[in-house]
Amino acid sequence: MAAQQIARPGEVGEHLGYEGEGDRVVTHYFACLDRAYRGWRWAVTVARASRARHVTVSETVLLPGAEALMPPAWVPWSERLRPGDLGVGDLLPTSADDDRLAPGFSSDDDTDHQMFFEYGLGRARVLSPLGRDQAVRRWHSGESGPHSPLAHAAPAQCSTCGFYWPLAGALRMGFGVCANEYAPDDGKVVAADHGCGAHSEAAVMPPTLEQPPPILDDLGYDLMEADDEATDLTGSVEEDVSEPFGHS
């Protein structure tokens, strides 16, 4: 049999049926007994030429069945990339039809129009409305948005912080850059309603008062009870001192 000629011994099972492919062309299916290809089946396509008595084998192949274990669909490398995968020296080309970008002359950003007016130059492509909306949703729902644990524990929003630098253009009202070197988001884009414990108005420290020097009372004295040895010593000293005056 044709399937047994290309398969190893014992890997071709029972006949599962056949299917007509066209005029005098039929494909027969046989079970595959190889444990590595469970759910697959051997397909042998045979054909008979016009007025011929015998059929000839056109193709023999192993095909997946309904319960076959299949590999995942192939995904281009550019679509497999994730944030943080790009390393030093890596290049990530952007396709000409990327929906996130639009021609520079179509931008509605005031800063871009100002640049065109002053220099006659501009970026070839800028963020499209779709690209801008995707960035807004990504930033607002991420760790620098209002729903992170850091923001929930903050005393106030970033929009009221002195270290908050608003972005220019259409995103000015919703996002800015943190400029506090002690904040966890220093140098990063944060949402206006984000927050952290390094808020400029988080706590007003009371002014430090200079501590006065300690006051020592060298004119007063404290009464203390003397023990027996101290009394005897004092008494003997007084007798020795007073004795010359007693004889005089």
86-138 pLDDT, tens digit per residue, is: 777 767 777 788 888 788 766 565 555 555 544 445 677 888 889 999 999 99
- Max mean pLDDT among 8-22, 90-104, 186-200 falls in 186-200
Instruction: Give the number of other Cβ atoms within 10 Å of residue 205's Cβ.
Output: 5
Q: First vs last Cα of the chain: how many Å apart?
A: 153
Neighbours of 235 (CB within 10 A): 10
Residue 192, exposed/middle/buried by CB under 10 A (0-12, 13-18, 19+)? buried
Mean pLDDT for all residues in the chain? 78
Give 58-69 as a 3 state SS string.
EEEEEEECCCCC
Whether 52 maps to a domain, the answer reads yes
- Is residue 108 included in any domain, yes or no? no
Domain that holds residue 43: 2-64
Q: Is residue 77 part of a domain?
A: no
Per-residue confidence at 232, pLDDT binned at 50, 70, 90? low
pTM here? Answer: 0.48
Q: Of 191, 206, 229, at which residue does a domain stop?
A: 191
Domain's final residue, options 168, 191, 214: 191
pLDDT at 157: 93
Q: Is pLDDT at 188 greater than 90 in this prediction?
A: yes
47 is a domain residue: yes
Report how many domains make up the chain.
2
Residue 248 confidence class, pLDDT cut points 50, 70, 90 = very low
- Cα torsion angle, 134, 138, 144, 147, sign: positive
* Cβ 139 vs Cβ 127: under 8 Å: no
Higher pLDDT, 70 or 243: 70
Structure tokens at 126: 């800028």
Distances (CA, A) of 146 to 140, 142, 185: 7, 8, 13
How many angstroms separate the CA atoms of 87 and 60, rounded? 46
Q: So what's the pLDDT on residue 145? A: 93
Quick one: CA dihedral 83, 89, 177, 115, positive or negative? negative
Picking from 60-69, 146-155, 179-188, which range would have the lowest pLDDT averaged per residue? 60-69
- How far is Cα 235 from Cα 38, in angstroms, rounded to an integer? 115
Q: Which of 170, 191, 212 is the last residue of a domain?
A: 191
Distances (CA, A) of 182 to 119, 141, 152, 178: 38, 23, 18, 10
Token pair listed for 144: 């620098």
Q: What is the mean pLDDT of residues 146-152?
A: 92
Percent of the chain with pLDDT over 90: 23
Q: Tell me the percentage of the chain whose pLDDT exceeds 70.
A: 70
- Tell me the three state secondary structure of residue 46: strand
Tell me, what's the pLDDT at 97? Answer: 82
In a domain, 152, yes or no: yes
Q: List pLDDT tens digits, range 199-218.
A: 888 765 555 556 666 666 66
Establish if 199 belongs to a structural domain.
no
On whether the CB atoms of residues 212 and 231 are closer than 8 A, the answer is no
Q: Is residue 178 part of a domain?
A: yes
Q: Is residue 78 part of a domain?
A: no
